[in-house]
Structure 1
Amino acid sequence: MGKRSTWSRWTAGAAGLALGAVLLSGCGSQEAKAPTNYDFYIFNGKSENAEAMEEVVDRYEAETGLTIKLFSLGTTDVAETLRSEMNSSAKPALFSTNIGGVMEWSESGAILDLNEASNPELKALAAEVPEPLRLSADGSQNYGIPYNIEGYGLIVDTRMAEQLFDLENPEPFLEDFKAATYDEFENLVNQVDAYIATGQADQVMLNGSPYPFAASKTELTSRLTGVFAEAGAEKWTYGDHMGNIALNAVFSSAVDARNASEEQVEQLKGPLEKLARTLDLYSAHAAGMEGPLERGPSYINSTTASYDVSVQLFATGKALFLKQGNWVYPNIEKLNADILPTLTFLPIKLPLQQEDIQVEGLTVEQFNRSVPQFVPSYYAINTKVTEREQELAQQFLVWLNTTEEGRRTIVEDFQFIPYNADDSVKFENTLNNSLIQYQLAGDTLSNPFNGSPAGGAYWGQEVFGSILQERYYNREGEWTPEDYRTIAEQSVQGWQDVMY
């Protein structure tokens, strides 16, 4: 890192950001001289692509003859560093922000509504961003161009499914799983658990199709100790991710959740109650290193139930499913690269009734065959710099997102899923490819979690996540329907206590 061109640029560190979790790695901040004379300044808050962005800017400078100042963040304190730069005498023309930061910049008048962009190509590009993915304060604006798409679901190694059910081709099983009802999924979980324990189980039905278990275990299926690789010590894995699933029944986007009425928050009780039932199923069938991981102190202990342990359990074949996102791919690669070609996403299902769903046009069937996809960061234009700097920043965004060279950069150099990917976009990362297929099929949910109180992190972890961890995961014994209702009611009350 450091100086990479005759014009010098600032870069710093490396970090991985996944929804509510920050997984740190990198070299920290490293200073280099900024150019004293430059045409415009890019503040890049997505440090995963810091080095690649430097190389891209080098090429763009060579192509255009411009001089660009680039700063890529190497710490987790994105908001404070950006705030300092935005208030300095040398402001970025192009900067990174997200749904959590948009209110600050819209209220201060420092972010351009791309509906009013002076560059017609950028204006058209912004209009193509699907409404649930738009960066907005109240739904009427369109403040940013997505860096990329991320998403999550139940990750499965299709070889494990093949050997559990003695399949020649896993594709029909995967398609039937996607279309299966929650009750069929619940039965699958119970029967897989029985097969792990005894080597025998009843055949399961998925989408009405029968799937008998293999007559005997293989070397691979003999490793299983549970159905799910769970991280009970990490509230973000269920408070943020799973909480977001339920919110999708009432809110179509983060903007909708942020502007929720008290009546809409009340409508969360049904979906959250159904989510509690699902989390009961997951936590009652969790894998451990040597056998099942039981609810109780071990379930929330970082030595037995951390994020890293959950990934290890899955990567070494001790669990059938890992509920995580495409960002986990490099972690799995370090542990067991052999399974990378056979990884894919399956949807997270809830036992919803149609009356639980308030989003217009969304059915239980579509909900349960979809995966959440969202934009972690956006490029935004700063209205507090000169008109020329704004114009140049707009031209760079158009180049990056519409030209063959720019789009190749996003996929090959950044390894990002474009928000407007088509079926020609292919990665070595099989999880990225799986997300694109859901995207193209229109089987996606959104990220209303980021519109919950305090931008998601508070409600997801300190309300919903804490209720689960401290009062339910931490104790042994069965959960009851009354427990499900209590979890839902207390979680809704926690939201209301902050907002109303």
Structure 2
Amino acid sequence: MNVNSRNRHYARKKWTVVAAVLTLGASLLSGCGSREAKAPTDYDFYIFNGKTENAEALDKVVDRYEQETGLTVKVFSLGTTDSAETLRAEMNSSGKPAIFSTNIGGVTEWAESGAILDLNDASDPELKALAEDVPEALRLSVDGTQNYGIPYNIEGYGLIVDTRMVRDLFGDDQTQPFLDDFQAATYDEFETLVNAVGDYIAAGTAPSVKLNGRSYAFASRKTELTSRLTGVFAEAGAEKWTYGDHMGNMALNAVFGSAVVARTATEEQVDELQAPLAKLARTLDLYSTHAAGPDGPMERGPSYINSTTASYDVSVQLFSSGKALFIKQGNWVYPNIAKLNTDILPTLTFLPIKLPLEQSDIQVDGLTVEKFNRSVPEFVPSYYAINAKVTPREQELAQQFLVWLNTSEKGRQAIVEDFQFIPYNVDDTVKFDNALNNSLIQYKLDGDTLSNPFNGSPAGGGYWGQEVLGSILQERYYNRAGAWTADDYETIAREAVQGWKDVMY
């Protein structure tokens, strides 16, 4: 989960090489360590897979492909810890992979070395069409003109809630209306709701609240479930990626429509982050003053950022045991929750993260405050890329495999059932046992999604989000008791913007 600190004065082109595997999804999923390759001595083409969590499933899928085609395929899967160096070694070996894993952090390295095929120039017309169907905001590119990869899958995050808790707070017949109205609610309505839930937790009573203009009254008495609540949010103050990366990404979405746009931003565009980041600080103030602890509220101060009391694992435990109404996490958290409380799994869903933005804060064409506040970030953590330095035959076979994987019945079935991945070209026929995956699919089908511009921030995402914004928050604000002021919000934003510019310009 941790990202190594980096020198603040990297040259503009160097940081993308250093951060080759530092994407949001790769940082947050626990794929570490390697496994033995499915490695025949003689093979037709070679796949280098950088996602350990789908290693066994990929072996099974390739077995089916071999049986169907008569080809022999070498597969090597490696965890995220050292995959950048191992991939470099493989790409420079005599037995180069024809398909390899990369991401927005690593693409510049391979583009500059001429080792990645622009799928705009693919020789297989089916693969070329498949690549053209990847939405622009999800494309793997250096400057927005190329299309270098086919997405492994889509991941996303938001406020996860157990809908049974909503039922017990507001009544069974109010559950679905509440979820619908929450999505459409303004930030001010959200803030009022958070404060009211905090009052209800403390005193067992609170005034009714409005979401999307509709009133919701709290239950007259607590149930066994709502009696467990100790706070509104399960926070992980020890984990800078949860607020530096995730929440920082929310503010960046107001200015940058994609990671590519963020990576190529001018200094003037970076200055436009001041207002959204100040609004983000206000939101983080709200979250951190309504955090759940094991036996009562979690107060800001040393324990709020201590790894034994405020880690990722602790936050998941608090949410899974019903101590918090919300946890801000992604669909990758589902297996962790499953280990702790299987009862909660069918009733989980995503709700959008809201910021108190004004329309003047938003610089992305076509994005309104209303759309921003009803949307969730969805993004591609890894891509399949084709090595332009292998033989033409290997390139052709690699293209055919990616077409089969993403268009054939067996291939698409494998993505959903074996990998348990949300396809980037998902449609309404795809259903999972995983309720969080299904929730993300619905947001995508509704067109209510944001992007991952944080992956285009200095040093590939992890550095700015954690070592700049995250460190400001953790070391100077979460670490002390007392109220934050409007001046604090502006200071956090100003220093985060300056931290970006210190690295980039």
Q: 1:19 aligns with which of 22, 25, 37?
A: 25
- Partner in structure 1 of residue 10 of structure 2: none
Unaligned runs of 5+ in 2: 1-20
Taking the aligned partners of 1:22 and 1:212, their CA distance within structure 2 comes to 37
Residue 24 of structure 1, CA deviation: 3.6
1:137-286 → structure 2 map (5 Å cutoff): 137-286=142-291
Q: Would you say the 8 A contact 1:16–1:47 is kept in 2?
A: no
Q: Secondary structure at the match of 1:51?
A: helix
Residues 410 and 341 of structure 1, relative CA distance in 2, 3 Å threshold: same
Residue 76 of structure 1, CA deviation: 1.6
Residue 23 of structure 1, CA deviation: 4.9
- Letter of the 2:390 counterpart: V
- Letter of the 2:255 counterpart: V
- Letter of the 1:369 counterpart: R
Taking the aligned partners of 1:20 and 1:32, their CA distance within structure 2 comes to 20
Taking the aligned partners of 2:98 and 2:237, their CA distance within structure 1 comes to 42
Residue 25 of structure 1, CA deviation: 6.2
CA root-mean-square deviation: 1.4
Q: 1:337 aligns with which of 326, 342, 347?
A: 342
- Letter of the 1:90 counterpart: G
Q: 1:79 aligns with which of 63, 84, 101?
A: 84
Matched, 1:376 2:381: yes
Q: Would you say the 8 A contact 2:196–2:209 is kept in 1?
A: yes
1:367-406 → structure 2 map (5 Å cutoff): 367-406=372-411
- Partner in structure 2 of residue 10 of structure 1: none
The C-alpha deviation readout for 1:37-56, integer Å capped at 9, x for no partner, is 21100111111110010011
Matched, 1:410 2:419: no
Taking the aligned partners of 1:39 and 1:456, their CA distance within structure 2 comes to 36
- Letter of the 1:19 counterpart: G
Q: 2:461 aligns with which of 453, 456, 465?
A: 456
The C-alpha deviation readout for 1:299-354, integer Å capped at 9, x for no partner, is 00111100000000000000000000000000001100001000000000000000
Taking the aligned partners of 2:29 and 2:140, their CA distance within structure 1 comes to 24
- Letter of the 2:479 counterpart: N
Residues 470 and 380 of structure 1, relative CA distance in 2, 3 Å threshold: same
Q: Would you say the 8 A contact 2:31–2:51 is kept in 1?
A: no
Q: Would you say the 8 A contact 1:226–1:291 is kept in 2?
A: yes
The C-alpha deviation readout for 1:431-486, integer Å capped at 9, x for no partner, is 00000000000000000000000001100000000000000000000000000000
Taking the aligned partners of 1:400 and 1:268, their CA distance within structure 2 comes to 40
Taking the aligned partners of 1:448 and 1:290, their CA distance within structure 2 comes to 37
- Partner in structure 2 of residue 93 of structure 1: 98
Q: Would you say the 8 A contact 2:23–2:460 is kept in 1?
A: no
Taking the aligned partners of 2:22 and 2:355, their CA distance within structure 1 comes to 29
- Partner in structure 1 of residue 354 of structure 2: 349
- Letter of the 2:25 counterpart: L
Taking the aligned partners of 1:404 and 1:241, their CA distance within structure 2 comes to 34
Q: Would you say the 8 A contact 1:246–1:275 is kept in 2?
A: yes
- Letter of the 1:139 counterpart: G
Q: Would you say the 8 A contact 1:250–1:358 is kept in 2?
A: yes
Taking the aligned partners of 2:170 and 2:205, their CA distance within structure 1 comes to 12
The C-alpha deviation readout for 1:173-221, integer Å capped at 9, x for no partner, is 1010000000000000000000000001000000000000000000000
TM-score (ref. length: structure 1): 0.95
Residue 34 of structure 1, CA deviation: 3.1
- Partner in structure 1 of residue 73 of structure 2: 68
Taking the aligned partners of 1:224 and 1:32, their CA distance within structure 2 comes to 47
Residue 170 of structure 1, CA deviation: 1.4
- Letter of the 1:375 counterpart: V
Q: Would you say the 8 A contact 1:145–1:380 is kept in 2?
A: yes
Q: Would you say the 8 A contact 1:44–1:95 is kept in 2?
A: yes
Q: Secondary structure at the match of 2:75?
A: strand
- Partner in structure 2 of residue 118 of structure 1: 123
Q: Which has the higher contact order (CA 8 A, sep 6+)?
A: 2
Q: Would you say the 8 A contact 1:19–1:240 is kept in 2?
A: no
- Partner in structure 1 of residue 497 of structure 2: 492
Taking the aligned partners of 2:270 and 2:23, their CA distance within structure 1 comes to 28
Taking the aligned partners of 1:309 and 1:459, their CA distance within structure 2 comes to 25
Residues 143 and 25 of structure 1, relative CA distance in 2, 3 Å threshold: closer
- Partner in structure 1 of residue 11 of structure 2: none
TM-score (ref. length: structure 2): 0.94
Q: Would you say the 8 A contact 2:258–2:453 is kept in 1?
A: yes
- Letter of the 2:376 counterpart: V
Residues 17 and 54 of structure 1, relative CA distance in 2, 3 Å threshold: farther
Q: Secondary structure at the match of 2:71?
A: coil
Taking the aligned partners of 2:278 and 2:136, their CA distance within structure 1 comes to 28
Structure 1 vs Structure 2: percent identity of aligned residues? 78
Taking the aligned partners of 2:317 and 2:173, their CA distance within structure 1 comes to 27
Taking the aligned partners of 1:29 and 1:175, their CA distance within structure 2 comes to 43
The C-alpha deviation readout for 1:252-290, integer Å capped at 9, x for no partner, is 000000000000000000000000000000000000000
- After TM superposition, the structure 1 stretch with the greater mean CA deviation from structure 2, 474-483 or 69-78, is 69-78
- Letter of the 1:381 counterpart: I
Unaligned runs of 5+ in 1: 1-14
Residues 59 and 133 of structure 1, relative CA distance in 2, 3 Å threshold: same
Taking the aligned partners of 1:164 and 1:43, their CA distance within structure 2 comes to 49
Q: Would you say the 8 A contact 1:20–1:457 is kept in 2?
A: no
Q: Secondary structure at the match of 1:321?
A: strand
Q: Would you say the 8 A contact 2:37–2:75 is kept in 1?
A: no
Taking the aligned partners of 1:25 and 1:416, their CA distance within structure 2 comes to 15
Taking the aligned partners of 1:323 and 1:140, their CA distance within structure 2 comes to 33
Q: 1:132 aligns with which of 124, 134, 137?
A: 137
Taking the aligned partners of 2:434 and 2:23, their CA distance within structure 1 comes to 17
Q: Where has structure 1 moved over 6 Å in runs of 4 or more?
A: none
Q: 1:38 aligns with which of 40, 43, 65?
A: 43
Q: 1:481 aligns with which of 458, 482, 486?
A: 486
Residues 17 and 484 of structure 1, relative CA distance in 2, 3 Å threshold: closer
Q: Would you say the 8 A contact 2:98–2:386 is kept in 1?
A: yes
